Every structure is written in structure tokens, then in C-alpha cells.
Chain A
Amino acid sequence: MHAPRPDGAPILRLTNVNKHYRRARQGQSDIIHAAKDVSFDLERGQLASLVGASGCGKSTVLKMIAGLIPATGGEIQLKGDKLTGPNEQIGIMFQQPTLLPWRSVLENVLLPIEIREGRGAAKAARDRAMQLLQMAGLAEFAHAVPGELSGGMAQRAAICRMLVTQPELLLLDEPFGALDEFTREQMNVEFERICRSREATAIIVTHSIQEAVFLADAVFVMSPRPGRIIKRIEIDLPRPRTSDMITSTRFNDYVREIHDLLFGGEKEAAHV
């Protein structure tokens, strides 16, 4: 559908992206480096995950890519063009489902089209939205209001809303964080399938190392204060990923490596 650009630019490129928040505290202001010199490339169709301790700057990085907060330094490029704000090629899903409670689930899913292209276009896209809901197992709830959904169902509806405009780059902030282990695993399998079928590129923020390895072609490991990407680990596991891979030695070697990166430093520090 989309031919690669002749200059071979990656779909997403971050170059020395920085973000510091200034906080005024008791008269003096101190600075929090939520992102420091974050640089990476993503090729079309790659799934990346971003792991790191709470508060290290994962959401900050995602929001900067989505154009929701400005970077204090560096550059973000989408397909070779500098990003300056929100872009319709980018779909983002927040830590909370944030469905509008006064709209039906279907109307919520159609919201991005309604806002970008108007009511008429939204009406025309109803079938597509219904297909998405079907796929997410929510067809029966298309006309229900979000208040009637469970946490996991709301999360799935939010995924449908993100997908309805068929963005090329998907950004997900702990999308399955509120789900139980079992549903979570199902969602992971389903999500991987969707991304592959559309050749979508995605960055998934997660607290779960297992989930990070399971979903990704590349895991970015972040360390806090300042928020830096300390390592990019390519995950060389066959696709599609299946649940039984989780018990394989290869999978667990990756998990251990990331675990040691995240927690090893602290242990050593504790011994000193």
C-alpha cells in the first residue's frame, strides 16, 4: 500500500530528544529530566516495547511522539518529516480507556473519524467500526454505553477507536495494564495479529517484561532520572508469537537480560 520512501527513511526517528519538567518547590525550582538524549529508529511494521521503572519517563516519550507535549530538545521525524504536533498517521491509546460516557461504544469508536472528517464520514465508516468491534468481541455492546463495560472491555473499545482511522504508527501506554493475566495474554496475541495484518508500527509501554518480550521486535529499556534508553534489545523470536513460547529458554533469556538491566544495578548498589 505505502511504498518505502526512496531515501529509505525509517517510519519513526528520534534524535537526541530531551524533555525536562520544571517544578517550583518552596521558592526554588528544580528540574526533572524525564527524557535525556533519547534516540532510536523504527522501521515500518516493527513492534517496539518500552520498559522501565515507574516515573522514568515512558509516558513522556510517548506523548512527545504523539505531539501532545513539546520536546525541550532534539527532533522527532515521521517518515522523514519533522513532527511538530499531533498527526493523523499516529494513533495513541492512554493509560486509561478515556471513553466518553455519554456516547455509545460505537459512537466512541467513530469519534476520531467524526472529528477529523465530519459526521458524514463517520456514518460511512460504521461498518468498518462494527468489524473492529466484532474482532474485539464487543459486537453485542456496540450500542451500550461505556458505563456498562468492564475495565477490559473498555480497554478493547479504546483499541478499536485507535485503529479505526488506520494510523500507521500506534502508541500504546500500558494498554493492558488493568487486565488480569489471562485476558492480557489473549489481548497480546490478538494485538500482534492486528499489527502484522496491517503492517502497523507500534510502540507499547508496559510494566511487564514478559509482555514486552512477547510483543516486540525490539525492547527499549529505560532507566530513571534522567530518563534514558540504556539498551535496545532485538528480540529474535519467530512470528506469530504463541503462548507456549513464554516457557522457552530463548524467551526467558531475554526476560532475564532485561530484568538484570532494570534491577541489577540496584542490587549492586545495595551491596556497596
Chain B
Amino acid sequence: MSETQSVDPETLIALAENERKTLVERMPQWLLVLLFGAAIVGVWQGAVSYSGISELVLPGPYQVLQDLIFTLKNLFSGGYVAHATWITLVEVVFGFALASAIGLTLGMIIGATAFGRKAIMPYVVAINTMPKVAFAPLFVAWFGFGIESKIMMAAFISFFPVTINTAAGLAATDSSMAMLFRSLEANRWQTLIKLQMPFATPYIFAGLKLAAVWSVIGVVVGEYMGGGEGLGELVRVAASQLRVGRVFAQILLLSLMGLSVFGFVTLLERYFVRWKK
């Protein structure tokens, strides 16, 4: 007791609080993430070793790691994985660009004109409620087995969030700023370009981020349906050969691709929306 009396009160309070906290609350987050990941891998390994599931259906973590290393090696040495990644990347980038262009244009028409709001908007909403991937075979029929059908599929799936967010952003314009522009006798074009569009940029970027992720989905669906030379085709072939480890590794590449496009959009957003704290 005499010892604790010499300790300053704040330390005592901190100690008391620490005692009340559980072990998990006191551990740093990165450690927990690692531990949980390791636990999953452990369970996975255990399931593969003791359940009698065939390696062909569910490979163990070690097998997957080897497949991942193989895939990455192939990618960086310019093998067929590199070629497939390049094809898919081109499809994603063009699909995303097309979705952005269509979405921005349509969103501006809907957000800035009464005709767009009243006549076009219902159709856009109707299209969005459809299960869009169901159109994939049609896109193959219309645009063939080349990269065009994948680009169109990606654009078709991902133009919607850009459209809606652009329209919503334009409609959200601050009413007192709109009043200011009216007092300055700004015409509709000036109001759109100098007020409504800049005001809508945070909304637009939220839509673009969704579109970045969705265009990867569109491309993969297009490749599953229409073949070609992309990563989606590799996944399809590997799966049909029951090389599940390869499938995992290739899906990881696809995720990284989606993440990169997403990251690129985020960088652009940082630049264009830097006024928003």
C-alpha cells in the first residue's frame, strides 16, 4: 500500500482503466488482424488435412501460396498471365472511361434539364432494377468475342452510379449560391459549369468509385461469357481443370486491378475535391 501511495494519481487511474479493459481492447489492431488471419489459415489447413476433402476441391494454404508465387512470377516475367492481365486492364480502363463519359453526360442531362429529369430518369431507374449481368450473352452476340463486348458490358454495368450521383449532385446545389448566380444574371450554362458541376464533384466521385469496382465485375462477366484472352478466361479455364489454387491467385490479381482503378479515382478526387475538408 505504501508503494502505491507514492505513485501519482494519474498513473493509478490509467492502471485501473487498463485493468478494466479486456486483453483484445489493449492489443494493437495490426496484431489482431494478423492473428485472426493466421487463425483462418490454421483452420483452413486443419480442414484440408483432417476432413479428407480432396486437394482438387479445396487446396491447402501452402498449395495456394505456391500457385500465387507461380502466377506472380509469370506475370512479372511477361508470360501468359502478363498478357491476360494487360488485356483485362485495357478492357477495364476503357469500360470505366466509357461508363464515366456516359454517366456524366446522362447525369448532366437529367440534373440540368426538365426533359431529362422527367423523361429520361424513369428509364435509367428501370434499367438499374434489371439484373444487368443477364444481358451478357446479348453483348457477346452484338459485339463479338473481342474486347469490345467486355468493354460494353463493363460500361453498361457501371454507368448507372455515375449517372445517378451526377444528377443528384447537380440537384443538390446550395440554394443561396444559386440565388447569388441569379443576382449576377448568370445564364444556365454558366450556372452549370461554374456552380453546379463543381458543387457536384464530391457526389460524382462517389459514383466514379462505385463504377471503378463495377467495371471489373462487368469485364469478368463478359469474359466468362465471351471468352477472349483476359484474366476472366484464365479463371474459367483453371476452374474447369480444377486448379483451384490458380483460380484464387488470378482472382487476387483481378482484385488488385479493381483496387488500382479505385485508387486512381481516389487520387483524382483528392485533387479535385481538395476544397472539401
What residues of chain A have their CB less than 8 Å away from a CB belonging to chain B?
A: 63, 66-68, 85-86, 88, 90, 92, 94-96, 98, 100-102, 111-112, 114-116, 145, 147
Contacts and interface: CB of A to CB of B under 8 A. Distances in A.
Contacts, number: 48
Interface in B175-214: 176-177, 179-186, 190, 194-195, 198, 201
B191 to A, nearest CB: 9
B276 interface: yes
A242 to B, nearest CB: 33
A94 B179 contact: yes
Contacts of B186: 115
Interface in B43-68: none
Interface string B240-277: 00000000000000000000000000000000000111
A66 B185 CA distance: 11
A116 B182 contact: no
Nearest to A145: B275
Contact of B190 (A66, A101, A115, A147): A115
**Chain B CB within 10 A, most for which of A66, A90, A100:** A100
A67 B179 CA distance: 11
Nearest to B277: A147
A86 B183 contact: yes
Contacts of A90: 183
Central interface residue in A96, A98, A114, by most chain B CB within 10 Å: A98
B176 A100 contact: no
A115 B276 contact: no
Nearest to A111: B184
Given A102-B275, A147-B275, A86 B185 contact: yes
Contacts of B198: 100, 102
Contacts of A116: 184-185
Contact of A115 (B177, B185, B275): B185
Secondary structure at the B interface, as helix, strand, loop or mixed, is helix
Contacts of B185: 85-86, 88, 115-116
Contacts of A86: 182-185
Interface size class of B (residues with CB under 8 A): 10 to 19
A92 B184 CA distance: 9
Contacts of B275: 101-102, 145, 147
Interface majority SS (helix, strand, loop, mixed), chain A: loop
7 contacts: A85-B185, A88-B185, A95-B176, A100-B177, A111-B184, A116-B185, A147-B275
Given A63-B179, A68-B182, 17 more contacts: A67-B183, A86-B183, A86-B185, A92-B183, A94-B179, A94-B180, A96-B176, A100-B194, A101-B276, A102-B198, A102-B201, A102-B275, A111-B184, A115-B185, A115-B190, A116-B185, A145-B275
A10 to B, nearest CB: 22
Contacts of A67: 183
A112 B181 CA distance: 9
Nearest to B201: A102
Contact of B176 (A66, A98, A115): A98
A63 B180 CA distance: 11
A114 B195 CA distance: 13
B272 to A, nearest CB: 9
B183 A100 contact: no
Given A100-B195, A115-B186, A68 B179 contact: yes
Nearest to B185: A86
Contacts of B190: 115
Nearest to A66: B183
B96 to A, nearest CB: 24
Nearest to B187: A115
Contacts of B277: 147
Nearest to B177: A98
A98 B183 contact: no
The 3 closest A-B pairs by CB, nearest first: A102-B275, A115-B184, A98-B176
B204 to A, nearest CB: 13
Contacts of A92: 183
A115 B181 contact: yes
A177 to B, nearest CB: 14
Contacts of B179: 63, 68, 94, 98
A62 to B, nearest CB: 11
A121 B183 CA distance: 19
A63 B184 CA distance: 13
A145 B277 CA distance: 11
A96 B180 CA distance: 11
A115 to B, nearest CB: 5
B67 to A, nearest CB: 48
Nearest to B276: A101
A98 B180 contact: yes
B183 to A, nearest CB: 5
A112 B184 CA distance: 6
Contacts of B182: 68, 86
A252 to B, nearest CB: 36
Interface in B143-202: 174, 176-177, 179-186, 190, 194-195, 198, 201
